[in-house]
Amino acid sequence: MMTSMRRSVLGWIGLGLLALAAFALIIIDIGQSALGLGGRRGEAGEALATVGDQAVTEGEFVRRLLRAVEQERQRTPTLTQADFVRGGGAELVFEQLVAGKALERFGARHGVIASDRMVDGEIASIPAAQVAGRFDEATFRRLLAQQRLSEAEVRQGIAEDLVRRQLVAPVARGAYVPKAMAEAYAALLLEVREGELAVVPVEAMPDPGAPGEAALAAFWQANRRQFTVPERRGFRFARIAPDRLAEGVTVTPQEVEAFYRRNIARYGGEELREMNQVVLPSREEAARFVAEVRGGTPFAKAAAARGLTQRDIALGLTSRGVLAEDTSEGVAAAAFRTPAGQITNPVEGPLGFHVVEVVSIRPARPLPLRSVAAQIEKEIFDEKVQARVTDVINAAEDRLEAGEPLARIAADLGLAVEEVPPVTADGLRLTEDFELAFETRQLVDQAFGLEPGEGPQVVEEERGRFALIELGEVRPAETIPLAAIRDRVAAAWRADARRRAAETLARQMAEKASAGEPLDALARAARLPPVRRFSVRRLELTEAAGRGQAIPPPILMLLNTPAGQARAIPVPGGGAVAVVRTVRVTPGRLSDQPGLAEALRQSLARETALETSELFVRAVERAVGTVRRPEVLEGVKRRLAGVPADG
């Protein structure tokens, strides 16, 4: 679970996050607040922490956590909100939120800013706003409309993240790992361990019989959490279904043709030029650069002599309008009247004196309207449907603000209301036999993200799909009475007694094996399955773990047990206890894989960079004054996971 989330608070900061996921990050903090998600109370709720003069509120924490669950569920569809919280996701989200606020405050205090040009560049790099690899204004506007965001909100969110990047990235650049350290780690990875494994099945232990009343009651009392039903919530909801709102939406040929003409550049109707550019501080320096290139020096080589890489100078395929927007009309005019293979004279722009090389020219070759008409028609259709969805959401939110009941609003808007009985955060309901059975997954996370007593509100069920939701009955966590589940508790007592007996036998075998008795003889004497022998190398296990494969605990135990010694460890699932003995340890030889040490050094350097950056963030938190309230966070986590307050 949560394979994409690093334990470090810098998992989201990374060292190049914004170009990869700018839109997603903005939506986390802006999109839901713009939609009213998380309740009309906005940022209400107790403060989980204070960062300088800002509070990390329960409302913003819950909104960000819900978005994190949604993003992680794209990789793990069966993930529930409770799974996410129990797996440590809540702590990750909280620490990321605190770190982000601290960096913002620190940047503001020390004058670290993001220019408009920097923000423009990040917007242009958003993959979801591109068509055929290039930024498309119409697509960007459609994304804003779908998420009900203003351009100002998006720009503000990007600017804040750019400030964070400017603060953190320089700290990581100086990370260095010595060659000797990498070689020591590489030798450890190449080490081979041979071991033997004996398994003590729990079912092989003698039946302890029926427990007495006192033993049964004591076991039930000591394991109340095992027999406790988590908090359950009932709710009602009405989906705002785009499919239904699409009824009656039409697109005329005239609309298709008008869209085509407005966006002719998207369909090859505009000349594009592949270009390189240098910007130099003075006209004299720019003139010397032009003289060098026209004298036979390649453009890239002349640029390299001034410390510029190909990445620094490349403009790629660019239209005149885009170039004018990025530089100036004068620079664009000069570049688009220069033949292919030639360079412009120096042209003064906002950042200095520009010299542009025209590498190649792609003439305007517009696709015929008939070949793209279907695509355009669908795009216009989707925009109209999205506009209807937005209108319905706005109307619903206005009426909710006025205090109207969900049922009346849904009826007036033609939405069907559905009821969900009280369920846990995992979507389970309690049956008459006191068993938890699956009921539903729909909108359960959103229901557990609401505060009891809040009125109905609009929430996002999944990307682009919304619903009205109202919390109903909230049943606190409750322990099932012993009398109602006596047989179940008795079975659990017997299983626990057998498990403890298996653990005792395994520990005794491990002690004897460590003292020199053969493990296979001990297994035969206890009438256990035959001992298995195996060998492992740390490198293969590390590679398997990197692919997301789980390493069995007995294998990990072998890696941490000295030669000749044995240890006992439970097998995952609780069905057995393993006894692991290390027979032989063969040191690794770097000559077996000559390139491993260098590859490991580079990997360790990256990790060191992240760790160094994290230490910097912690120092920033102290500098701006950060106070966490773990007891408040714990309470919110319990509610989100549906666990009892005393669990």
Lowest-pLDDT range, 102-111, 138-147, 299-308, 455-464?
Answer: 138-147
Q: Which pLDDT tens digit goes with each residue over 322-351? A: 888 888 999 999 999 999 999 999 999 888
pLDDT above 50 (res 76): yes
pLDDT given for residue 644 in this prediction:
58
Which band of pLDDT confidence, cut at 50, 70 and 90, is reported for residue 10?
very low
Task: Kindly tell me if the per-residue pLDDT of 133 is higher than 80.
Answer: no
What number is the average pLDDT over the span 35-42? 34
Instruction: Give the pLDDT score at 342.
Output: 96
- For the segment 499-517, the average pLDDT, to the nearest whole number, is 96
Q: How confident is the model at residue 643 (pLDDT cuts 50, 70, 90)?
A: low
Q: Which CATH architecture has domain 9-176+605-641?
A: Orthogonal Bundle (1.10)
pLDDT of 23 above 60: no
Question: Which burial class, exposed, middle or buried, applies to 301 when counting CB atoms under 10 A from its CB (0-12, 13-18, 19+)?
Answer: exposed
How confident is residue 244, by pLDDT bands cut at 50, 70 and 90? confident
pLDDT band (50, 70, 90) for residue 364:
confident
Check residue 329 and give its pLDDT: 92
Instruction: Tell me what the mean pLDDT of segment 148-152 comes to.
Output: 72
Task: Supply the pLDDT for residue 232.
Answer: 93
Task: Give the residue-averaged pLDDT of 348-366.
Answer: 90
CA angle at 69 for the pair 616 and 72, rounded to the nearest 5°: 80
Q: In this predicted structure, what is the pLDDT of residue 545? A: 83
The share of the chain scoring above pLDDT 70, in percent, equals: 91
The separation between CA 582 and the C-alpha centre of its own chain, rounded to angstroms, equals 39
Give residue for tokens 């491990």: 510
Q: Determine which helix (DSSP H) or strand (DSSP E) holds 397, and give its type and residue range.
A: helix 369-401
Closest CA to 383 of 516, 246, 538: 246
Flag whether pLDDT at 17 surpasses 80: no
pLDDT band at 145 (very low <50, low <70, confident <90, very high): low
456: nearest Cα among 410, 508, 517: 410
CB 121 within 8 A of CB 19: no
518 vs 541, which has greater pLDDT?
Answer: 518
Residue for token pair 């809540």: 90
H/E segment holding residue 134:
strand 134-135
Mean predicted confidence (pLDDT) in 482-490: 93
Domain positions in the chain: 9-176+605-641, 191-229+485-587, 232-250+370-476, 271-362
Query: 499 falls in which pLDDT band (50, 70, 90)?
Result: very high
The mean per-residue pLDDT over the stretch 227-242 comes to: 90
Output the CA–CA distances (angstroms, integers) from residue 105 to 51, 111, 279, 440, 616, in the order listed: 8, 10, 33, 42, 14
Give the Å distances, CA to CA, from 301 to 297, 298, 353, 527: 7, 5, 18, 78
Is the confidence at residue 225, as pLDDT, over 70? yes
pLDDT one-digit tens code per residue, 159-188: 878 888 888 888 877 778 888 998 998 999
CB 188 within 8 A of CB 524: no
Helix/strand/coil for 101: helix
pLDDT band at 9; cut points 50, 70, 90 = very low
Distance separating alpha carbons of residues 149 and 386, to the nearest angstrom: 13
The two beta strands, 436-438 and 428-430, are antiparallel
- What's the chain's average pLDDT? 85
Asked if the model's pLDDT at residue 34 lies above 60, the reply is: no
Residue 627: φ, ψ to 5°: -125, 120
- Asked whether the beta carbons of 319 and 270 are under 8 A apart, the reply is yes
For residue 21, give the 3-state DSSP assignment: helix
Residue 201 has pLDDT above 90, yes or no: yes
Q: What pLDDT is stored for residue 69 in this prediction?
A: 84
Q: How far apart are the first and last CA of the chain?
A: 23
Torsional class of 178: left (φ above 0), alpha (ψ -120 to 50), beta (otherwise):
beta
Can you tell me the mean pLDDT for 562-582? 93
Least confident of 19-33, 79-93, 198-212, 467-481: 19-33
Query: Across the chain, which distance is largest between two alpha carbons, in Å?
Result: 101
Whether the per-residue pLDDT at 147 is higher than 70: the answer is no
Among residues 33, 17, 301, 261, which one has the least CA distance to residue 161?
17
Question: Cα separation of 274 and 559, whole Å?
Answer: 56
84-100 average pLDDT score: 89
Q: What is the pLDDT of residue 607?
A: 85
Lowest average pLDDT, out of 72-81, 316-325, 494-503, 561-570, goes to: 72-81
What is the fold, at CATH topology level, of the domain defined by 271-362? Chitinase A; domain 3 (3.10.50)
- Going through 395-464 in order, the beta strands assigned E by DSSP cover 417-423, 428-430, 436-438, 457-462
Rounded to whole angstroms, the Cα distance separating 144 from 131 reads 16
Q: Is the pTM of this model over 0.75?
A: no
CB within 8 Å of 231: residues ≥ 6 apart: 424, 425, 474, 475, 476, 477, 639, 642, 643, 644
**Of 60, 71, 93, which is closest to residue 21 (Cα–Cα)?**
71
Span 1-21, mean pLDDT? 35
Q: pLDDT tens digit string along 595-618?
A: 888 888 888 888 888 888 889 999
pLDDT at 475 (0 to 100): 92
Lowest mean pLDDT segment, chosen from 159-168, 377-386, 525-534? 159-168
- CB pairs under 8 A, 24+ apart, for 296-301? 299/343, 299/357, 300/276
Answer whether residue 48 shows pLDDT above 90.
Answer: yes
**Mean pLDDT of the region 189-217:** 93
